[in-house]
Structure 1
Amino acid sequence: MSRRKWAALIAPVAAAAMLLSACGGSSDGGGDKGVQGGAGKGAGNQDINAMDVSKLKDGGEFKWPLDSLPDNWNYNELDGTVDDGVRILYSIMPHLWLADAGNNVQMNPNYLQSAEITSPDPEVITYKINPQAKWSTGRAISWEDFDATFKALNGTNDKYTVSATTGYEDIEKVEKGANDQEVKVTFKKKFAEWKALFDPLYPKELNSDPETFNSGWVDGPKITAGPFKIGTIDKTGQLVTVVRDPAWWGPKPKLDKITFRVVDRSALADALANGSIDWYKIGSSVDNYQRAKTTKGAVIRQAPGNQYNHITFNGAPGSILADPKLRVALMKGLDQVKFVKGILGPIVQNPTPLGNHFFLQGTAAYQDNASAVKYDQAAAKADLDALGWKMDGQFRKKDGKQLNIRFVSTAGNPISEQIVKLTQAQLKEIGVNVVVDAEPVDKFFKDFVNTGNFDMTGFGWSSNPFPIGGSKAIYYLDPKSTGQNYGHVGSPELNQKLDEASAELDDAKRTADLQEIDKMVWQEGHHLPLYQVPGAVAIRSTVANFGARGFADVDYTKIGFVA
């Protein structure tokens, strides 16, 4: 499994683990108290207007806004790991494990009867598939689907452009058990977060060859197995609909249809007011928060967010930021407090920067490890001088070359613009010239982030319950594959520590290992987390079982409208 990225610095797997226990939560519309930040009380709650499905209307259309349509409907392919895409996918594809509001995962009985460690050494996991579970072709989901996934994602065939090999590279073999619906997965090296694997599960047909894996699902999914199925994909109109699948064997969805439509962030509040959409993420937007408070028929629901915004640095060989000392010097010139207070201050009480790459605020494991890049303009200037970047007029130069840093951002995005301007102003104070390159959101990941076409860039990561399974590909430096390490930043020592943590079955020891790894990540100047995005949403008051979900997964069968 990999982290999902999203076109952040707006308002697209840091994995948050060991969260506080779930507790109830509600909202009266927010009022003047603002919204919850990541470090606020009530971490682990959700606010979704929970209701028994028997009290909801049968049918209806739920209108869901997106930033962009998926570039690839294969989540495991490099272009497919975008948050908007996975929101659609989990309504139509097998999701084997479901996170609750406390980010604890539970087996999804619609797909699995059981999944457990049946041998500790070597580690063997035995899955028993729900015999009712079938693909849209009519074929039963079987051990062959697991085997094909393993073979595509284990890294042995570099023609598969995978987003991550984490966990799959540690598997020795996948075998048929007592029947086609029993799967035996044997590891050659222990992998503690095995529940992160095979999720979402894809049919063997997708993983059969690199060409199909890489591009066969670019225009849409070919085979599904969920409570909904694809109705329409309209690239011109920038919308996707999913409709009830009559072949679904699980609880019948309350909705007839979900319409996913691309809506500019600046137009979200108007779209909710005129009925074009039924909800939107408030995120970091003061304007969208203020508009939500006055939108007729809408309420604000809130819970801690499971996403964070950050600035990523490109350390690839030949890039201007290839030297980790230069990257760290720039980080020292950026005051996280100015970002978080300048953006979240008007809507979040006591907003605080994020100081960890693996654990989010509001989790038992969270601690601030950012001391290596603590804001210090004098130290940043001294570091730049020592690296040979001397002041020459307004900006610094070295060997006649000016220190110009190209910041690739998303165009037409007010929060992105705020963060870019703050970055530009702060780095100017230490003699660094930030050149802004604002690109359309539909090209941002595919043509710039995924290809390493930037010096600095900003987007967001969505959390999941697996710190290693969700994060290893971001920090692992593999000369043969980018994975999700878009800036090519890392070291052999960091790789070794990540491998060791992956195999540590003791939760407490693995958490301690990750804290040490996090300190190494800061020292490498990999990326600068800015703040945890508030989880508040504006939503039509008649919507039930959906809203500010905190760390929980969405149950698409329960979303509906109050009768």
Structure 2
Amino acid sequence: MPTTRRLLATIAAGALAVSLAACATSERGGATQAGATGGTMVFGAAGAPKNFDPIFNDDGESFRPVRQMYDTLITYKPGTTELAPGLATAWESSPDGKQWTFTIRQGVKFHDGTPLDAAAVCTNFDRWANTSSEAAQSNMIYYADVFEGFKNSGGIYQSCQANGDKATISLSKYKGAFPAAFGLTSLSISSPAALKQYDADDVTQSGDSFSYPAYATDHPTGTGAFRFESYDRTANTITLVRNDDYWGEKAKLDKLVFKIIPDENARKQELTAGTIDGYDYPSPADYNALKQAGQQVLIRQPFNVLYMGINTKNNPALKDIRVRQALAYAIDRQALVQTKLPEGAEVATQFMPKTVAGYADDVQQYPFDPQKAKDLLAQAGASNLTLNFYYPTEVSRPYMPNPTDLFQLIAENLRQVGITVNAVPRPWNGGFKDDVQTAGKQDLHLLGWTGDYNDAGNFIGTFFGREKPEFGPEDPAMYAQINAADAEPDPAKHAAAYQQANRDLMAKYLPAVPISSSPPAIVVSGAIQGLVPSPLTDERFNTVSKTQS
């Protein structure tokens, strides 16, 4: 099926699914909507947001409130990774995938009362592409990745043309990330009037610190189901209020408050005390106790991968594929999944979930085999290997609920095959990420990824599509192979190319060891109804109602 026809069929199916979901919600929840509207939900956030301008963010604690205030051109069917209409009611591509035309939803207004139209959409895309400030560009991680840079650095974005209710975006080449990447929270659409009024691009840097303009800190202006009211930095609370002019399903809550509580035990205690109504990523060890206390532990479908990264830069032995294979054989991943991760977790055989096109069923396997690990180390002359193993602290991630526990099991496996492991625990913010992803100080490390959208490039392209300090210099042929797969517009050939890339990653390159995929949870009180857990952690709170006590 030609690209355009395939996409239009996808849109029709997505629109039908959304329609059916809306009907099902109405049928099963009509009484609740009538009797449980209003009130305030307080959600326990693990950290403070970076700011509220979508384009300058790349972390979950910022994205959670941002998602409630903004919309994207394309969104996802609730609870799935399937594409659905957002601010665009339909979209199609040219046969070569270099042009994308969106039909912009009519009658939508930004929170400042100005209208959404095709010109406003183009203003946003032009703003991102033409950003020239190094301080601003360094905060636009998702944009730079998807569009491969900016106008002044060879990015693939060419232009956006508004014609009536159509906005046409032109690219210099096809990229497999699209159309799904148009649903990235970073690419949410802002009010052009507010962007101008509050100097949205005035990002400044002093040392390692950034200062953001008033738009990002106090005047975020989207089209979402909730509007920004305030951010009390003393009380550590962000307050959003219902947008009564929302184009979609209007929020049932009057207010949505995010209360910043960095300590997980404190979040659990506040939920038990009733001072908050929910929080994200509860420890699997707490599931039963939370349920017994009357809380709802909502399990997401797994759409992530945990891996042990291998940096070939610092220790020459790690350049030998036999040593990297020995590391893979040394780890008892099945025991790790069964004892350290929540029910439903699975051993990962490659660097993406099974549900992503491009997953290969016939990759080389690395079952737990300590003797084979010892033999490979001996063949490589690395029987007395010493490795610096970095792992994060002060964090819980969807794929890694307790990093210390996971590290301890893996480190013990490595020691059993004769490897000396130097443990290097580092705090997630202000330590681990800088050391591992920027400086590349480690030999081994634990890290992972939750997919942003359903495309193989969002997984192995993000990890291994170019040289990164996290893994050190690898084989340029690996980068070329992954990028060639990404640039293939034919759906069947696109998937087949990624399948071969996965086979070669596991057999020829092995730049890391895939460990597991996990189903992370979000927990809310028994008084909360209507929250739909998302495999993308893309929960929207406009569907939520709260039983009033």
Residues 74 and 85 in structure 2, CA contact (< 8 A), matched pair in contact too: yes
Distance 1:543 1:195 in 2: 34
- Is the CA contact 1:477–1:495 (under 8 Å) kept in the aligned structure 2? yes
Q: Does 1:545 align with 2:521?
A: no
Match of 2:3? none
The equivalent residue for 2:423 is 436
CA apart distance, 1:173: 1.7
Task: Please say if residues 309 and 460 of structure 1, whose CA atoms lie closer than 8 Å, have aligned partners that are also in contact.
Answer: yes
Alpha carbons 1:92, 1:228 under 8 Å: kept: yes
After TM superposition, the structure 1 stretch with the greater mean CA deviation from structure 2, 328-337 or 121-130, is 121-130
> Shift in Å at residue 90 of structure 1?
0.8
Contact 2:202 2:212 in 1 (8 A): no
Question: What's the secondary structure of 1:305's corresponding residue?
Answer: coil
1:89 corresponds to which residue? 66
Is contact 1:310–1:527 with CA below 8 Å preserved after alignment?
A: yes
Distance 2:252 2:372 in 1: 58
Q: Check conservation: 1:314, 1:454, Cα contact below 8 A.
A: yes
Count of residue correspondences: 494
Distance change >3 Å, CA 386–CA 476, structure 1 → 2: same
Within the candidate set 250, 256, 259, 2:257 is matched to 259
Partner of 1:352: 346
Map of 1:406 onto structure 2: 389
> Does 2:546 correspond to 1:561?
yes
Match for residue 29 of structure 2 among 48, 51, 64: 51
Which 5+ residue runs of structure 2 have no aligned equivalent?
1-9, 18-23, 149-154
> 1:220 & 1:561 partners in 2: Cα distance?
29
Is 1:65 the counterpart of 2:58? The answer is no
Equivalent position to 1:176, from 130, 147, 161: 161
Q: CA RMSD in A?
A: 4.0
Residues 202 and 213, structure 2, Cα contact 8 Å, conserved in 1: no
> What is the deviation of 1:286?
4.0
1:298-309 matches, within 5 Å, as 298-309=295-306
Query: Retained in 1: the 8 A contact 2:531–2:539?
Result: yes
Q: Shift in Å at residue 421 of structure 1?
A: 0.7
SS of residue matched to 1:177: strand
2:82 aligns with: 104
Alignment correspondent of 2:7 = none
Match of 1:342, SS state, is helix
1:151/1:517 CA distance change after superposition, 3 Å: farther
2:151 — aligned with what? none
Could you tell me how far 1:62 is from its partner in structure 2? 1.8
Letter in 2 for 1:293: K
| CA–CA distance in structure 1, aligned partners of residues 359 and 139 of structure 2 | 35
Are the aligned partners of 1:48 and 1:301 in contact in 2 as well (CA < 8 Å)?
no
Question: Which whole-Å CA distance do the structure 2 matches of 1:525 and 1:50 have between them?
Answer: 48
Where in structure 2 are the equivalents of 1:436-455 lying within 5 Å? Answer: 436-444=423-431, 447-451=434-438, 452-455=440-443
- Aligned match of 2:499: 515
In the alignment, what sits opposite 1:38? none
Number of the residue aligned with 1:29: none
Q: Structure 1 pair 433/172, CA: closer, same or farther in 2 (3 Å)? A: same
TM-score normalised by L of structure 1: 0.75
Scaled by the length of structure 2, the TM-score of the pair is 0.76
**d(CA) in 2 for partners of 1:47 and 1:337?**
39
| Partner secondary structure for residue 142 of structure 1 | helix
**Structure 2 residue 104 is the aligned partner of structure 1 residue 129:** yes
| Distance of aligned partners of 1:265 and 1:208 in 2 relative to their CA distance in 1, 3 Å threshold | closer
Aligned to 1:145: 124
1:410–1:441 contact (8 Å) kept in structure 2: yes
2:453 alignment partner in structure 1: 465
Cα distance in 2 between the residues matched to 1:535 and 1:519: 27
State the 1:453 CA deviation: 4.6
Q: Secondary structure at the match of 2:270?
A: helix
Distance change >3 Å, CA 530–CA 561, structure 1 → 2? same
Structure 1 unaligned blocks of 5 or more: 1-16, 25-45, 397-402
Judge conservation of contact 1:160–1:210 (CA < 8 Å) in 2: no
Q: Secondary structure at the match of 1:63?
A: strand
Report how far residue 250 of structure 1 moved: 4.2
Structure 1 residues 378 and 368, CA gap change in structure 2 (3 angstroms): farther
Kept after mapping to 1: 8 A contact 2:304/2:352: no
Aligned amino acid, residue 518 of structure 1: N
Q: Which has the higher helix share?
A: 2
Which residue is equivalent to 1:272?
A: 271
Shift of 1:501: 1.9
Matched residues in 1 for 2:405 and 2:26: separation?
Answer: 30
State percent identity of aligned pairs. Answer: 19
CA distance in 1, matches of 2:234, 2:472: 35
Q: Which deviations, in whole Å up to 9, do the C-alpha atoms of 1:16-53 show, x marking residues without a partner?
A: x9xxx9xx9xxxxxxxxxxxxxxxxxxxxx99996347
CA distance 1:461–1:190, shift in 2 (3 Å): same
**Which amino acid is 1:105 matched to?**
L
Corresponding residue SS for 1:385: helix
Asked whether 1:424 is paired with 2:424, we answer no
The answer (yes or no) to whether the contact 1:427–1:433 under 8 Å persists in 2 is yes
- 2:186 counterpart of 1:190: no
1:437: how far off? 2.9
Residues 393, 428 of structure 2: 8 Å contact kept: yes
User: CA separation of 1:538/1:220 partners in 2, compared to 1, >3 Å: closer, same or farther?
Assistant: same
